[in-house]
Structure 1
Amino acid sequence: MAELSPLDVTGLVLAGGQGQRMGGQDKGWVEFRQRPMVEYAVQLLRPEVSTLLISCNRNIPRYSELADLTVADELEGFQGPLAGIQAALRVCKTDNLLVVPCDTPLLSEQVVGRLLATAAEHPGHICVLSEADWWHPLHAVIPGKFADSLDSWLEEGRRGVQGWMRKHPLWR
């Protein structure tokens, strides 16, 4: 099975949301089993990537302690996860961006390994975690070459993650 080297991958933890479903709390710092949820994502991605980014729009000093670099949305007003991905792609120096949300603390090494293996087998494709007909577009490997397309998508006022991903070669 083909593999991507950590040198080929930048990791991104999405922690920039409004937390509406959690009463406005910053989801990354909500505790799960006595640890902030963001710590699970950081621990999971760190060995798999050359650089670890956290997309956040608040509590930046706290997140900075966990990441090599933090990025913030360039669009104002919590424009959704694609805005965080856009900010990460602007600083990404590798061919691929491995994306996970901060609020999936039970995500396993095996799932991340499966995503990376799929990306290695299908270069140039956006590779998304899926189960049967259900897919999880915020658990993905995104080639950096799609950054301009994402800029255009967001400039048009679009925010749909799946809609943007379907414009490109996609493996799920």
Structure 2
Amino acid sequence: MPAPPPETPLPPEAIAREHITGLVLAGGEGRRMGGVDKGLQLHRGRPLALHALRRLQPQVGPALLSANRHLAAYEAMGVPVWPDVIDGHAGPLAGLLTGLTHARTAWLVTVPCDTPNFPQDLVPRLAAAALQQGADIAMAATREGAQPVFCLLRTGLIGSLRAFLQSGERKFGAWTARHACVQVLFDDAQAFFNANTTEELAQLQQQPPPAAVG
């Protein structure tokens, strides 16, 4: 996949937010954190998944959560919660398929539950790039590389993803490479810092708080 172009201002045309469903991915097994439900680990007094949800909601229309454990705790966050529609802990693509199954908009955007400080202009910039370049998928990138789980895609790709997973494939990049995909460069790599381990969660606690989002 070619390197993303330098960060540029948002063009005036963009996909309206009400046509984009937001999905927080919280269905992982948390293996690198000792098997805990990562989305429910507290950061500044709130579960990580709730931070991600609150940061995402102003950027999208409907919002959903993908989770496979402690569903009641996630439902208390106030949006629909759906477990994976396929068995076998198939990773983030399983959560993505779940989101595509339940979305009722033309576009779906995903964010992971363990990255609470992602950019507040993430979705509009992905949407503008997808529209401008006629892409099926737009994903975030930094100068350190792609951030594929921060991904905006057409919900019409559901059949392609279902077939990919049913064939036994699991790699996010291998699936997105089959479609017209554009990378969108974000200069602030620190905004994509994610807490995969207890040590990284402690590092996250030491970062200055981001701008308030409500």
TM-score by length of 2: 0.76
User: Corresponding residue for 1:139?
Assistant: 150
Q: Does 1:169 align with 2:171?
A: no
Judge conservation of contact 1:100–1:140 (CA < 8 Å) in 2. yes
Give the AA of the match of 1:139: F
Q: Does 1:47 align with 2:58?
A: yes
CA contact (8 A) 1:101 1:138 kept: yes
**Which whole-Å CA distance do the structure 2 matches of 1:12 and 1:47 have between them?**
13
SS of 1:109's equivalent in the other structure is coil
Specify whether residues 106 and 13 from structure 1 end up closer, same or farther in structure 2 by C-alpha distance, changes over 3 A only.
same
CA drift of 1:45 comes to 1.4
Amino acid paired to 2:150: H
Uncovered stretches (5+) of structure 1, i.e. residues with no partner: none
Query: Within 2, Cα distance between the matches of 1:120 and 1:63?
Result: 32
The amino acid across from 1:11 in the alignment is: G
Counterpart-to-counterpart distance in 1, 2:44 and 2:137:
32
Q: 1:78: Cα distance to partner? A: 1.4
Q: Given the alignment, which residue of 97, 101, 111 partners 2:122?
A: 111
Correspondent of 1:94 among 105, 119, 123: 105
Q: Which residue of 2 aligns with 1:33?
A: 44
Contact 1:52-1:67 within 8 A present in 2 as well = no
SS for the counterpart of 1:146 is: helix
SS state at 1:78 partner: coil
How many residues matched?
Answer: 172
The answer on 1:61 being equivalent to 2:72 is yes
- Cα RMSD for the two superposed structures: 1.5
Q: Moved runs in structure 1, 4+ residues, more than 4 A?
A: none
Shift of 1:136: 0.7
| Structure (1 or 2) with the larger CA radius of gyration | 2
- Residue ranges of structure 2 left out of the alignment (5+ in a row): 1-10, 184-214
Cα distance in 1 for residues equivalent to 2:175 and 2:167: 11
Q: Which of 21, 24, 29 is residue 35 of structure 2 equivalent to? A: 24
TM-score (norm 1): 0.93
Identify the match of residue 149 of structure 1 among 151, 154, 160: 160
Structure 1 residues 65-122: Cα deviation after superposition (integer angstroms, max 9, x where no partner): 2243111112223110101110110111111101000000121203343223323323
Distance 2:60 2:28 in 1: 23
* Distance in 2 (alpha carbons) for counterparts of 1:168 and 1:111: 21
**Between the two proteins, what is the percent identity of the paired residues?**
34
Deviates more, 1:70-79 or 1:53-62: 70-79
